[in-house]
Structure 1
Amino acid sequence: MAQVTQPQPGPEAEEVRLGIAIRAYRTMRRMTLRSLAAEAGASPSFISQLEHGRTSVSVGMLRRIAGALGITVADLFAPGASVGHRVVRHADRPELPAGPGTRKYLITPRPLQNLEIYGGEFDPGASTGDEPYAHGDAQEIFMVLRGRIVLCLGPAESAACHELAAGDTSEYRTSTPHRMVNEGSEPAEVLWIISPPTRTGA
């Protein structure tokens, strides 16, 4: 039996798929054409043509569009990018830069909409850094899943520190300087839940 060769998608098909992905992510983010265009530095008519697969786009512009959507360029070309219901497997969670002895993962699938959730692991003695940090001005809930964490809120010289055990939570604004440290002898696992997303992480 002769083998049937499937036709390879041409540039037009790629542009159509890219447009569908951009429109799907924009809809998930509840962004208008105008708001996406403003954040990406493009015109609404260009974004409209791009979403309908009627024009090509430079790498630089594509990066700006992806950034405005809260995703990466690779996300736009991933299989199933236009699927609304998404699953993030434990092994596939994106790992974010963190300090020595600390691991941080993005749990919520992109694009981030109303909230973002990060998971973290602290080895004994590990912390988020020597100095408290802040990001944006959103509501943040910090929860200890395993182990014990000391959470300090406020500037370093006047911070209020709380020891949290598994199941304990704390709520504060992301604009409040905060620092976490594992002063125990066992690894600790935590969650950061932030609403709305601050785009700069937990």
Structure 2
Amino acid sequence: MTDRSLPGPSGGDTDGDTDGAADAALGARIREYRMMRRMSLRALGEAAQASPGFLSQLERGQVNCSIGMLRRIADSLGLTVADLFDQDGRPGPRVVRRADRPMLHTAPGSRKLLISQRPLSHLEVYAGEFDPGASTGDDAYTHGDSQEILLVISGGVRVELDGRAHDLEAGDSVEYRSSVPHRVVNHHEGPAEILWIISPPTPD
């Protein structure tokens, strides 16, 4: 699993010293993002179909890997391959206009929009928009085991947590673990808007 077919970030031929520096930088970024997500080497290995020993060597810059493996690692961390090669460090302030929010696929009549920008670090924030009668889906769902806060911005929603219903109005919030089965439904006659705040980030 030490495929040397993957070039350095520049994509060109490099000497051994430069290759080693690129491997070390890539490994350090993988470890940084893994720690941000509070993932063990074993958990990342299971998600990316790699052994913990190989990932440990990769993080220390002792080996590199194929593009296919790198894509699986990036996907498991909620990143793109380009994020892993980003040399700019931690970004400064970034403005996201309402019209530019990336939209995720959801149930009919509802929209889930990403507010926090990738690559995600310590938290992720989503806006949710629900037409009257719309919901997050027929079934409750879980994702990871993070702290999650749901805040109602406008309208009202019913939040079902492990089968127990909580009716919330604008300004109300509820906090729970993302490992608890949860579902949101707009049971009002008007639209509703909410925020999800999750720390640390979890798989969608």
- In the alignment, which residue of structure 1 is the partner of 2:12? 11
Instruction: Classify 1:171/1:72 alpha carbon distance in 2 versus 1 (closer, same or farther; 3 Å).
Output: same
The answer (yes or no) to whether the contact 1:108–1:116 under 8 Å persists in 2 is yes
User: How many Å apart are 1:120 and its aligned residue?
Assistant: 1.0
Alignment of 1:13-92 (within 5 A): 20=25, 23-24=28-29, 26-27=31-32, 29-30=34-35, 35=41, 39=45, 40=48, 41=50, 42-49=54-61, 57-76=65-84, 82-86=88-92, 87=94, 89-90=96-97, 91-92=99-100
How many angstroms apart in 1 are the aligned matches of 2:22 and 2:191?
Answer: 44
Q: Which ranges in structure 1 are unaligned for 5 or more consecutive residues?
A: 1-8
Number of residue equivalences: 181
CA contact (8 A) 2:78 2:120 kept: yes
Q: Is the 8 A contact 2:25 2:61 kept in 1?
A: no
SS state of the match for residue 11, structure 1? Answer: coil
For the residue of structure 1 that corresponds to 2:107, the secondary structure is coil
**SS of match in other structure, 1:140:** strand
**Cα offset, 1:89, TM superposition:** 1.8
Percent identity, aligned pairs only, is 48
Q: Does the residue aligned with 2:83 lie in a helix, a strand or coil? A: helix
Q: State the distance in 1 between where 2:30 and 2:115 align.
A: 18
Which residue identity is paired with 2:107?
Answer: G
Change (3 A) 1:82 1:57: farther
In structure 2, distance between residues paired with 1:93 and 1:21: 29
Q: Residues 108-152 of structure 1, C-alpha deviation per residue, up to 9 Å, x if partnerless?
A: 233433332221111111101112222333222111111111112
In the TM superposition, residue 103 of structure 1 has moved relative to its aligned partner by 0.9
Give the direction of change, closer, same or farther, for the CA distance of 1:81–1:181 in structure 2 (3 Å limit).
farther
Asked if 1:178 is matched to 2:182, the reply is yes
Deviation (angstroms), 1:22: 6.0
Computing the radius of gyration over CA atoms, which structure comes out larger, 1 or 2?
A: 1
User: Which residues in structure 2 correspond to 1:111-122 (within 5 Å)?
Assistant: 111-122=119-130
2:172 to 168, 172, 197: 168
Deviation at 1:20, TM superposition (A): 4.6
Structure 2 residue runs without a partner (length 5+): 1-9
Secondary structure of the residue aligned to 1:162 is strand
For 1:20 and 1:118, locate their aligned partners in 2 and report how far apart those are by CA, in whole Å: 30
- Counterpart residue number, 1:6: none
TM-score by length of 1: 0.70
Match runs of 1:127-138 below 5 Å = 127-138=135-146
Q: 1:149 aligns with which of 157, 179, 203?
A: 157
> 3-state SS of the aligned residue for 1:180?
strand
1:126, 1:170 → 2: CA distance? Answer: 19
Question: Displacement of 1:83 after TM fit?
Answer: 3.1
